[in-house]
A and B are shown apart, each in its own frame.
Chain A
Amino acid sequence: MSYIAKSPWVIHYDGSSCNGCDIEVLACLTPMYDVERFGIINTGNPKHADVFLVTGSVNEQNKEVVKQIYEQMPEPKVVVAVGICACSGGVFKQCYNILGGVDTVIPVDVYVPGCAARPEAIIDGVVKGLAVLQEKRDNMVKGIDAPAEEPEAAAEEEKTEEGGEN
């Protein structure tokens, strides 16, 4: 269990999901599961968010959108991939317009499996994400760069590529 000083705000983006996972993400916010009692609020603005919940896999059209939202979020930030589509492509993996899981374009910290992912699982994923967030924050305070993982390296490459285009 992680303890965090500040209320974590989440932003939700629907990659190419079937809606199943999205309505479960929303269900987390409603009275039955009510994550708001932990101070978790769903915001529409990436600049306010600490946790990025992505459902569904990425395709040609939305990969730029996912990247943009990720880049607009301030550090430290955590990405949670919700549902098997976001983890790996899931049932749609072999579709012609699916590039794969979210980790093909941005680094992912927590993977929540399930089709559809249950609200309990999503909440668990966010809580796990909070531990990562705290760790990243501590590292930032100490001035240590986060250990370079492979997906992050991939994101760096993409970033420079995009910079080149503009």
Chain B
Amino acid sequence: MAKRTVIPFGPQHPVLPEPVHLDLVVEDETVVEAIPSIGFIHRGLEKLVEKRDYSQMVYVIERICGICSFGHGWGAAAAVEGAMGVKIPERAEYLRTILHELSRLHSHLLWLGLLADAFGFESLFNHCWRVRETVLDILEKTTGGRVIFSICKVGGLNKDIDNETLKEIVETLEGIKEEIKELTDVFIEDDSVKNRMVGVGVLSKEDAEELCAVGPVARGSGVVQDMRLTNNHGVYGELDFEPVIETAGDCYARCKVRIGEVFQSIELIAKAVAKIPEGPVSVPVKGNVEGEYMLRLEQPRGEAFYYAKGANSKFLQRMRVRTPTNMNIPALVKTLQGCDLADVPILILTIDPCISCTER
């Protein structure tokens, strides 16, 4: 038996903008075990419910993560609305759906860039992020922020987006579709890219189900699971779409799922804009929170879970969030066993880890 060595990976590592620490037990060049250790970003923000009332809490929860911030704000607001029995106007639901898909678009483009960076394709990384700036411009124009929006509130949205702007958004997105296609073709067709991804880190369908993988990781292994289909948030039920499924379960499949979703998001936004009704975007909310509510929402990285419980006070008793990366870590540890040391960064990236979500 070859000699075993332990190689520490992280917390400060060039490949990840975020700190995650893994102890990689290697035999020659093969990883036999990966032991994650966490807690570098733990803030303990769920406990802030004792100090912030429910409407302020939406902004705190939004800051769990700067990449899927809109979804978190939405989840928190919707959980409180559910507990209070507030029904938000139709237009607000549509706008939330549109903004959520825009965040998915920016999140996936960001991820494609990071993936390119992980296998050393610098120019592709830069191009992905250049295209992403167009989406950020849209978000900045409509919400006022580039990554943290603070537009969701309990009862609806803080501001309306007029129909004129919505049409412009659709046109802009149509305009960059061609550019995105050029970039994603590189991921799908380029041999050097394929060499790094095809057949690497295979997660079988059984494992994905058993380890409770979520989002693109599960969908890349052939599990049909998309919380948007459950139709408990937004207006996805009226937009008529099919989840993007790949069956190979390797890094390439996970990449293809996300690429599929980039175009799907553009389509969903166009469909939502075509159907959006007129009307107000928020209802006044008064009083205390009584009761509890649970909600599952599809974030760019997979299923996120929000729970709010109030005991007839302005302050919630409990606000619980479970994020997608948390559920994908067991799958990651599984795929890391037996992989090459050189593939570790790519494997970590293909679950699209968001450590600040996981640790909160």
Contacts and interface: CB of A to CB of B under 8 A. Distances in A.
Contacts of A23: 17, 66-67, 110, 147
Interface string A1-41: 00000000000111111111111111100111000000000
A59 B43 contact: yes
Nearest to A24: B147
Nearest to A12: B17
A116 interface: yes
Please classify how large the interface on chain B is, using the bins under 10, 10 to 19, 20 to 34, 35 or more: 35 or more
A65 B13 CA distance: 12
A27 B129 contact: yes
Contacts of A155: none
A69 B13 CA distance: 11
Please classify how large the interface on chain A is, using the bins under 10, 10 to 19, 20 to 34, 35 or more: 35 or more
Nearest to B51: A94
Interface in B96-149: 110, 113, 125-127, 129-130, 133, 136, 145-148
B48 interface: yes
Question: Is chain B's interface secondary structure helix, strand, loop, or mixed overall?
Answer: loop
Given A22-B18, A59-B42, A31 B356 contact: no
Q: Which of A21, A43, A61, A115 has the most CB of B within 10 A?
A: A61
B325 to A, nearest CB: 11
A95 interface: yes
B51 A17 contact: no
Nearest to A21: B66
Contact of A61 (B39, B64, B354): B39
Given A19-B17, A23-B67, A23-B147, A13 B43 contact: no
A65 B63 CA distance: 23
A101 interface: no
Contacts of B126: 30-31
Contacts of A22: 17-18, 66
A62 interface: yes
B42 A19 contact: no
B43 A98 contact: yes
Nearest to A36: B126
A57 to B, nearest CB: 8
Contacts of B40: 16, 59, 61-62, 65
B69 interface: yes
Contacts of A21: 66
B40 to A, nearest CB: 5
A91 interface: yes
Contacts of A32: 129-130, 133
Contacts of A15: 41
Nearest to B64: A18
A118 interface: yes
B19 A20 contact: no
A100 interface: no
A23 B109 CA distance: 12
Contact of B19 (A18, A30, A45, A62): A62
A95 B66 contact: no
Contacts of B60: 91-92
Contacts of A44: 12-15
Nearest to B137: A32
A16 B41 contact: yes
Contacts of A30: 113, 125-126, 129-130, 133
A97 interface: yes
Given A13-B12, A20-B66, A24-B147, 6 more contacts: A16-B42, A20-B147, A21-B66, A23-B147, A57-B43, A95-B45
Interface of B: 11-15, 17-19, 39-45, 47-48, 51, 59-60, 63-67, 69, 110, 113, 125-127, 129-130, 133, 136, 145-148, 354, 356
A-B complex: 10 closest residue pairs judged by Cβ atoms: A20-B66, A44-B14, A30-B129, A19-B66, A16-B41, A61-B39, A97-B44, A31-B130, A32-B133, A20-B147
